[in-house]
Structure 1
Amino acid sequence: MMQINPSYYRIMAGAKSVFAQEFLEGGFIAANWNIDQDLTHALPDDWREFNHRFIPVYLNALPDKTKISAGLACGMLHTLSKGIKQGDIILTPRGDGHYLVGKVISDYYYVPSGELSHRRKVEWFEQTLPRELMSQELKNSSAAGTVCNLTKYAAELKTLIDGKETVEHLEPDEVLEDPTAFALEKHLEHFLVENWSKTELGATYDIYTEDGQLVGQQYPSDTGPIDILAISKDKKTLLVVELKRGRASDRVVGQIQRYMGYVKDELAEADQQVKGVIIALEDDLRIRRALSVAQNIEFYRYQLSFKLLKH
């Protein structure tokens, strides 16, 4: 039976869902991230403590990797092993346009079996979830990476899993003055990622990738996910991008500074600097004042354009 307020996670079953059938038949989810040891007694509640201990282990096993990839891998490993709770709901792409859906029914356990050594037992439901039924926002939300938290779409996912029609999602803390603008703005992040190379930022920076996978979208930090983490083409600068629908308030300056501090302290190499960019539809005097004394942060405005052409 599903708990009252479960969290929802997308868990990849290896590249191109190669382990999806094994997940289904074995009744589990699993991963490895090149940390080949039993973590039963090494899973603190705080993922930052876990990362500090295991990032060096990861980098020792894979010395060609960066702190960015190490931080992501260790964070995902902690989430799969400890952050996900019994009763939480798992969606795993099957590779054919459908998701396996199940409920976590055990704590972490270790099986020395290479790529699938860190495991959680899952009771898979009979029905699968067709991707085509999901709202576009939910489809766009699943950033690259093995583990993705989808709990912000809990209402839609519960509706879909219960076999009802899909629903539109609106974050409770978002108040949008213009619903027409919202319809276009809601896909801002996805649109920016898809068209990054055509933007002014794309001329200097690339969204961070690892082994061909996009990992710089919704990159986890200890104060919340970073919308976009990019790196300059000369590898000397890490860029934190914060996106705001509509008008940005001066509070976003403190927010992006926290993200930049995390990147500087936890991810940047000794020879790398950290910069920030805020992108919003509008600014005001308060944010301009705050940015005037904030180092290494720039502000960009985006424009909405909608046009009907008669043929």
Structure 2
Amino acid sequence: MQNSLVSYYRVMAGAKSVFAQEFLDGGFIAANWNIDQDLTNDLTEDWRPFNHKFISVYLKALPEKSKVSAGLACGMLHTICKGIKQGDIVLTPRGDGHYLVGKVISDYYYVPSGELSHRRKVLWFEQTLPREMMSQALKNSSGSIGTVCNISKYADELKDLIAGKAPPELIHTDEAVEDPTVFALEKHLEDFLVANWSSTELGKRYDVFTDEGEIVGQQYQTDTGLIDILAISKDKQTLLVVELKRGRASDVVVGQIQRYMGYVKDELAEQGQQVKGVIIALEDDLKLRRALSVAQNIEFYRYQLSFKLVKGGV
């Protein structure tokens, strides 16, 4: 059955694209995460029941892992097996600067084969997509850590690239934005913050959550939405939820971050860990300050953006 609204996903073929050729030759994408059983009867439309069932299975197989890692792994497995629909487009890095591109043409099926046991059939296109042709924003998203990520917000650009057209230039049409340079920088605020985390004030006390050296705390999925950044204190006693807002933040963000914090407390925090929150925005207002004055464990930070040219040789 075809999907009327096509979504786009980046799907890794193992570490350093080790299985890319097997994906291509076999006409499939696949994953495992140490869950070695047929999932056909467990793939609910909603990922939440799936996660509740299989997080314990994952942790039993890998007891050294955290609940954060388990939740991420199970969520990505559900996406590959169920979340991606027939007709959706997948991009898989080939390991040489090009992406394999194909259309998903089957529902989930199981092949007992270790790391490639949970599969979806893919009709791979003849052409590949050079990474150098992508916009910087798409490069950032398609290069993000994790086996699978949804890159559908770049659908228009991806359609053009797959059709062999050059990517569009940055076009700024929002009359409310006085400075197009700052507007462009703000679009990449999250990626910039993660990349420069260690040099920020928060980076002195917290690290973005990682698993085996890879960042997994960016755009972390919860049952109430995506956490922009999930971090952990250097003494491992505090989990930090970071919510980023371009421009001015309203008091609505307080309820939003509290929902995320509640999820982290109930589903991810280990025994003895506490949960805190940080809102980062260009500006706040009186309503937000009033709300934060009675909100426990939530802080507010302002960000500043600047852009300058330095003459060479000076």
Provide TM-score, normalisation by structure 1: 0.95
Identical-pair percentage: 80
- Tell me, what secondary structure is at the counterpart of 2:275? strand
Per-residue displacement from partner, 1:201-241 (whole Å, max 9, x unpaired)? 11111101101111111111112211110001111000011
The amino acid of 1:27's aligned partner reads G
Distance in 1 between the 2:7 and 2:115 partners? 25
User: Aligned runs of 1:191-230 on 2, under 5 Å?
Assistant: 191-230=192-231
User: Aligned runs of 1:139-288 on 2, under 5 Å?
Assistant: 139-142=139-142, 143-167=144-168, 176=177, 178-288=179-289
- Tell me, what secondary structure is at the counterpart of 1:41? helix
Residues 246, 272 of structure 1: alpha-carbon distance in 2 compared, 3 angstrom cutoff: same
- Tell me, what secondary structure is at the counterpart of 1:73? helix
Per-residue displacement from partner, 1:61-116 (whole Å, max 9, x unpaired)? 11111100000000001110011100000000000111000000000000000000
Residues 76, 275 of structure 1: alpha-carbon distance in 2 compared, 3 angstrom cutoff: same
Partner of 2:56 in structure 1? 56
Distance in 2 between the 1:121 and 1:198 partners? 44
Residues 169, 28 of structure 1: alpha-carbon distance in 2 compared, 3 angstrom cutoff: farther
Q: 8 Å contact 1:67–1:266 — kept in the other structure?
A: yes
Provide TM-score, normalisation by structure 2: 0.94
Partner of 2:5 in structure 1? 5
User: Aligned runs of 1:9-158 on 2, under 5 Å?
Assistant: 9-142=9-142, 143-158=144-159
Distance in 1 between the 2:246 and 2:123 partners? 38
> Structure 1 residues 138-147 or 128-137, which shifts more?
138-147
* RMSD of aligned residue pairs (Cα, Å): 2.1
> Structure 1 residues 279-288 or 84-93, which shifts more?
279-288
Number of residue pairs matched?
Answer: 311
Per-residue displacement from partner, 1:270-300 (whole Å, max 9, x unpaired)? 2111111111111111111111111111010
Q: 8 Å contact 2:232–2:238 — kept in the other structure?
A: yes
Distance in 2 between the 1:63 and 1:221 partners? 22
- Tell me, what secondary structure is at the counterpart of 1:254? helix
Aligned-pair CA distance for 1:171? 12
Per-residue displacement from partner, 1:155-184 (whole Å, max 9, x unpaired)? 111111111121367999997454232022
Per-residue displacement from partner, 1:121-149 (whole Å, max 9, x unpaired)? 00000110111111111111242110101
Residues 19, 175 of structure 1: alpha-carbon distance in 2 compared, 3 angstrom cutoff: farther
Q: Which runs of 5+ in 1 are unaligned?
A: none
Distance in 2 between the 1:254 and 1:171 partners? 31
Distance in 2 between the 1:139 and 1:263 partners? 29
Aligned-pair CA distance for 1:26? 0.2
Aligned-pair CA distance for 1:258? 1.2
Q: 8 Å contact 1:51–1:71 — kept in the other structure?
A: yes
Residues 170, 308 of structure 1: alpha-carbon distance in 2 compared, 3 angstrom cutoff: closer
Q: 8 Å contact 2:98–2:129 — kept in the other structure?
A: yes
Distance in 1 between the 2:215 and 2:3 partners? 32
Q: 8 Å contact 1:152–1:171 — kept in the other structure?
A: no
The amino acid of 2:132's aligned partner reads E
Distance in 2 between the 1:173 and 1:293 partners? 35
- Tell me, what secondary structure is at the counterpart of 2:34? coil
Q: 8 Å contact 1:245–1:281 — kept in the other structure?
A: yes
Distance in 2 between the 1:234 and 1:40 partners? 41
> Structure 1 residues 160-169 or 103-112, which shifts more?
160-169
Distance in 1 between the 2:156 and 2:135 partners? 12
The amino acid of 1:91's aligned partner reads L
The amino acid of 1:79's aligned partner reads T
Distance in 1 between the 2:171 and 2:31 partners? 32
Q: 8 Å contact 1:281–1:302 — kept in the other structure?
A: yes
> Structure 1 residues 168-177 or 89-98, which shifts more?
168-177
